[in-house]
Amino acid sequence: MNILDRYHAMEYGPAPESRAEADAWLAAHDFSKALFIDGKWRKASGGATFATHEPATGKLLANVAEANNADVDAAVAAARRALPKWRATSGYQRARILYAIGRAMQRHSRLFAVLESLDNGKPIRESRDIDVPLAIRHFIHYAGWAQSLEKEFPGEQGVGVCGQIIPWNFPLLMLAWKVAPALATGCTIVLKPAEFTPLTSILFAEICEKAGVPRGVVNIVQGGPETGAAIVNHPGIDKIAFTGSSEVGKIIRKATAGSGKKLSLELGGKSAFIVFEDADLDSAVEGLVDGIWFNQGQVCCAGSRLLVQEGIAEAFLARVRARMAKLRLGDPLDKNTDIGPLVDRTQLDRVRSLIAEGERQGASCWRPDADVPANGWYHLPVLATKVAPANVLAQEEVFGPVLAAMTFRDHAEAVELANNTRYGLAASVWSENINVALHVAPQLKAGVVWINATNMFDAACGFGGYRESGFGREGGREGLREYLAPVVKPKPGRIEPFKLPKPREAAAQDFIDRTPKLFIGGKQVRPDSGYSFPVPDRKDNQIGEVGLGSRKDIRDAVSAARAAKGWASATPYNRAQVLYFLAENLSVRGEEFAARISALTGASGRVAQAEVDASIERIFAAAGMADKFEGRVHQPPSRAVTLALHEPVGVLGVVAPDQQPLLGLVAMIAPALAIGNAVIAIPSARYPLIATDLYQVFETSDLPAGAINIVTGKPGELATVLAKHDDVDGLWVVADAETCRVAEAESAGNLKRVWTSQGYAVDWNSEQGSLETFLSRAVEVKNVWVPYGD
């Protein structure tokens, strides 16, 4: 037998990682005292515990204290007490503590890795080489942000007490993603780990003690869904950060509606893995292994939908099957293991159920001929072919080692299939032609796109999704913003609910109907309801009527906005020219608009003219920023650059206030249009004639049909329709508190991006109503990773 024969005959022997130190750590702890509140270890006030098991064997690891409402109350109270002093701590001091946490984690990195693999079931190679180093990287990265905060974010401070709820698939890494930016900004924390994987959070709390984190700044309460609900619903919490399923995310969105809590949601995904015919197939196969079988497929951004070009499909799938046959299932502490067990029996049963349903719907599921360990919650990797786009395996997040394969003919079909999902977290594009890859990436409705790579992450680069994958970002500058709020909150007046004016005798008018119509798809149209409502002047005399918009009118406006694709695809320079033209045309009619404002609101001529001038200036400023509000280029510590692209949210609903009715409307629609959004505007219901005068300006300003649509009517009713509409991507509401609450609650259907004034008026001349603030709300940030080198 020659050397080459010996090489091919070699087999992998076991290479176990020692668990002795982890077992000693487990034996040394009384986990009935696993609640870390106000710097002290406590039992649950009700004495309850829950069991956490080792997925590889099913054996009990620990019985852990289970927090109830009283324990959450105590944790929130401790965080609230600690907040003023921690917030006042200098950025330098917070940076030192964050750095100390990172260094302490480095010293205990192997213990963290082994505990993570024992508790979660992921292979030790992944926890040792990816999860733990990346968690450490976040604390050291955000140490720098803590010291730079005042310079980079003037006028902002930590939002307050943060409730953070993390999942079981990346227990330590998700903890780091949330805790590090919160500490950097001066927030205090009440964190709930997943009940399946509590152990590394307990070790982390011990690290906080050693690193000098002040009492009450970090509080960790263990428990299940009831504990999470107590955090979400607690009135003493200022922000909720949640990572988990889209279903639970929707529940949280409804529960926090109207509460004023800041909210970020990082939810599920059904990510496309797109392989073009010119791709390096062997590299793509290895990327696919990482994309779907990393952490047993229990990854929110897993590349679970393989889209491969028809001409190479057969050859590529043959390579995939050959590679799957060599994947090794086994002990997660064995360094040769590729696929460990699923986290729990319930997850194993769910995966099996979805595969069975997929097969009933026509999918053909292939598994390699390999042994499955007798104990533990293991599942073989699965390749599903003959998968229709509507098959459950192509639409639902399986969260297991299951790959659904489909084919496409050309670039357009690849994009269409990739976007055929209610999710929008990530995607991976494989092509040796960088022009093809960078052409496709911006067309994908996903918050992260990897080119010729997958599952690349870094603390400096944002991560988060579109659509039902949630909103907000983790990591980098974008992740830091999720924990910031203005230092001084404005105290404007409350907005009262709108009531239709009573019909009054109108002044004698011509026999020609001059009732202003709705403006939909670039045309003036009558309301579908066939009704109108009176508009009184400042002396309460009726001076006209406007159409009473309805659900049907909103439907038509959304369809028109969705069809206005040319506006989003126009260059920023072209959008700027149109907005400049709009400002010019409004300026020509400035005196007319000032007179209308004065007649309707009773404002003096000087005040009315000032509002018109401010509106023209705001449009002019938005035009100027259309080609300047750009993204960033990140340089993570890997051979890649990350392009943080600014993209329009999409179809954006705007509910404008009665206060400063022209400026309030313009201040929201101008930045939205500048970024390339299509807008459905609900103007002031008290002074709608100002908006109906404005659409006459739109008609002469080269705005394409559907880019701006105006529907007059009751703001409460129309805002609710917009919030429920699944083809609306974002909603901004300045209205009474109940209208704002309902808009937030009803937006949960497709988890659209919603901002409301919480029932207060907005000072459009302050930072709160500034152009920059609304430009930030008008964009989605897409991070495109471009590796380089061999």
Positions marked catalytic: 266, 300
Check residue 121 and report its DSSP letter: -
Tokens read off for 261: 């809590």
Tell which phi-psi region holds residue 223, choosing left (phi > 0), alpha (psi between -120 and 50) or beta: left
Tokens read off for 70: 């009283």
Torsion angle of C-alpha atoms 291, 295, 297, 300, degrees rounded to 10: -80
Torsion angle of C-alpha atoms 597, 599, 604, 608, degrees rounded to 10: 10
The dihedrals phi and psi of 660, each to the nearest 5 degrees, come to 45, 65
The one-letter amino acid at 518: L
Q: Are 21 and 114 in contact (CB under 8 A)?
A: yes
CA–CA gap between residue 478 and residue 71 (Å, rounded): 32
CA–CA gap between residue 537 and residue 543 (Å, rounded): 6
CA–CA gap between residue 357 and residue 364 (Å, rounded): 11
Q: Are 534 and 503 in contact (CB under 8 A)?
A: yes
CA distances, 38 to each of 46, 83, 373, 466 (Å): 18, 12, 43, 37
Place of tokens 């509460």: 259
Tokens read off for 382: 């699965």
CB under 8 Å to 494, separation ≥6 — which residues? 736, 737, 759, 760, 761
Tell whether the torsion through CA atoms of 613, 615, 617 and 619 is positive or negative: negative
Tokens read off for 605: 């001529």
Tell whether the torsion through CA atoms of 533, 537, 540 and 543 is positive or negative: negative
- From start to end of 71-192, where are the E strands? 156-158, 161-165, 188-192
Closest by CA position to 485, among listed 730, 190, 162: 162
**Using CB atoms within 10 A of its CB, is residue 704 exposed (0-12), middle (13-18) or buried (19+)?**
middle
Place of tokens 């007179």: 595
CB under 8 Å to 130, separation ≥6 — which residues? none
Tell whether the torsion through CA atoms of 387, 393, 399 and 400 is positive or negative: negative
Q: Which residues of 530-553 are buried (b: 16+ CB within 10 A; e: fewer)?
A: eebbbbbbeeeebbbbbbbbbbeb
Tell which phi-psi region holds residue 309, choosing left (phi > 0), alpha (psi between -120 and 50) or beta: beta
CA–CA gap between residue 214 and residue 189 (Å, rounded): 12
* Whole-number CA gyration radius for the chain: 28
Question: For every residue of 560-598, which 3-state class applies, written as one string?
Answer: HHHHCHHHHHCCHHHHHHHHHHHHHHHHHCHHHHHHHHH
CB under 8 Å to 462, separation ≥6 — which residues? 447, 473, 474, 475, 476, 477, 478, 479, 644, 781, 783
Q: How many residues are present in the chain? A: 790
Tokens read off for 629: 């509000």
